[in-house]
Amino acid sequence: MEIATKASPESGSYRSILKSTSLIGGASVINMLISMVRTKFVAILLGPSGVGLFGMYGQITGLVGAVTGMGIGGSGVRQVAEAVGSNDEARIARTVITLRRTAWLTGGLGLLVMVGLCVPFSQMTFGSNDYAWPIAVLGVTLLTGAIAGGQGCIINGTRRIGDLAKMSIIGAINGTLISIPCFYLWGQKGIVPSIVLSALASLTTSWWFARRVPVKVLDLPWRESYGEARQLLLLGASFMGAGLVLTLNDYLIRIIMLRQFGLAEVGIYQAAFGLSGILVGFVLGAMGADYYPRLTAVANDNASVHRMVNEQSQISILLALPGLAAMMIFAPLIIKLFYAATFATAVPILRWCILGILGRVFSWPIGFVMLAKGAGRVFLITEICACVFQLIAVFFLIRIWGLEGAGIAFMLMYIFYTGLMLFVMRKLVGATWDQHSLKLTLIATVVMVLLMLNCRLNQQILSAWAINLTILLVTSWLCLQQLARTSGVTWQAICQKIKSRTT
């Protein structure tokens, strides 16, 4: 299991990736601790059915938001990044002003749609009109979310990674401080107030950080925003389509499970699915915050794109693998820690989802190539293929393996999706993974499959723990060693830097 290589001549680039990932990673660790507190209270105060209801509300607002948002969350980052890359202050100002105006319009449309279709959504989702009023009230979150999302695009497009990290931490703290009293006082009836109040808090936070981005003062009439907005929406159409497909897919999967099992079982799946990516969220978050804008800047240079994809893939695997391995081993403890004993049946689902998240780590660096190159139609087609695959797999596998089948379907979907991404990258760039990336991918896959088999099949407790912990320690040590070699960042250098700052 040797993964050592010679020091990379691109170690400076690796250090840049590692630095941005560490910033997002630090925020993710704090968010995880805050989330642990919030999730524990949710599990105790609401139970599986409350978690399921919370998830279904999220699916409805996400579905409407995917349509009415027009994809500006993705296209906005790209437009701002391109404008910043031009070093044209007037162009940057036009892009920012147009983005903010468009966010208001799309958010208002989302609010109107939620209010207008609250009754059909309630009937289609829950089989009654009892939830129509809460669904209508949740329309407010689409307005605030669109405006906050526009502000986030500005911060992301200008690569203010530190501000993004601070925003996520403040958002997690606000969500926890708001949600717990609502759930304690009103139980399941407090779900809607907590969501709305948290959305308002997020809007305030995003505004505070966005106002710190220096933008030239420009008097831009609405009619002059039309051309910029048209370009933004045309590019966003593909993002909207992909976002709609993903959200609709998640919504339909939960509807299938709701009809097959019930609201409590949907809550069990929601718990497993939500926890599966929590320890690698910093890696995936860093891709959108730093990697995507950098990739966009060199999108027309296939050699640079190929190099950046492989660098990002290698760093992502090395950072994510120890966390995923630890989650696989300690899945029962994690479920008890974050939720409660009533969620014990989520453990096998969580383990399958962890394997799926490994596929996400493999595929996302490649997937961003389509976004950076503006290949919106290709991006949409690949998302449709992956979602249809997962939907069909869930429909059949839950009838064979019960709720666990949904986790297996998620894992199988990412095997399919990773292969699809490699095919698309070869068509767009002319190459895929280099030898080192392929080697790391195979090693990570073998490690996770061995842990999965040991956890599932080894009935000897002492033997199972000895094997698991040995694999975890060896894997973690090798990953740290490889990170040090590729980036040139060693423990000695870190300690010397800390010492120099304290003296």
pLDDT band at 285 (very low <50, low <70, confident <90, very high): low
Q: What φ, ψ does residue 393 adopt, rounded to 5°? A: -65, -45
For the record, the structure tokens of 401 come out as 């393996």
The 10s digit of each residue's pLDDT in 164-192 is: 778 878 888 888 899 889 988 888 889 99
The 10s digit of each residue's pLDDT in 361-391 is: 999 889 888 878 877 788 889 999 999 999 9
Least confident of 20-34, 253-267, 407-421, 426-440: 20-34
Taking the CA atoms of the chain, what radius of gyration do you get in angstroms? 23
**How many residues would you count in the chain?**
503
How many whole angstroms separate alpha carbon 38 and alpha carbon 250? 23
User: How far apart are the two ends of the chain, measured CA to CA in Å?
Assistant: 41
Q: Once rounded to an integer, what is the mean pLDDT over residues 445-464?
A: 93
How many whole angstroms separate alpha carbon 202 and alpha carbon 216? 25
Q: For residue 289, is pLDDT > 70?
A: no
Q: Is 309 exposed, middle or buried (0-12, 13-18, 19+ CB in 10 A)?
A: buried
pLDDT band at 8 (very low <50, low <70, confident <90, very high): very low
**Domain residue ranges in the chain:** 38-249, 261-503
Contact between 63 and 200 (Cβ < 8 Å) = no
**DSSP secondary structure code for residue 3 in this structure:** -
Is pTM beyond 0.85 here? no
**Taking phi first (over 0 means left), then psi (-120 to 50 degrees means alpha), and beta for anything else, what does residue 217 get?**
beta
The 10s digit of each residue's pLDDT in 197-228 is: 999 988 898 888 888 888 777 777 766 677 66
Contact between 46 and 262 (Cβ < 8 Å) = no
Distances from the Cα of 198 to the Cα of 109, 178, 182, angstroms: 20, 7, 11
The residues, any chain, with a CB within 8 Å of residue 428's CB and separated by 6 or more, are 369, 370, 373, 375, 378
How many whole angstroms separate alpha carbon 455 and alpha carbon 333? 13
In b/e form, how buried is each residue of 7-25, taking b as 16+ CB within 10 angstroms?
ebebeebbebbbebbbbbb
Per the prediction, the chain carries an average pLDDT of 83
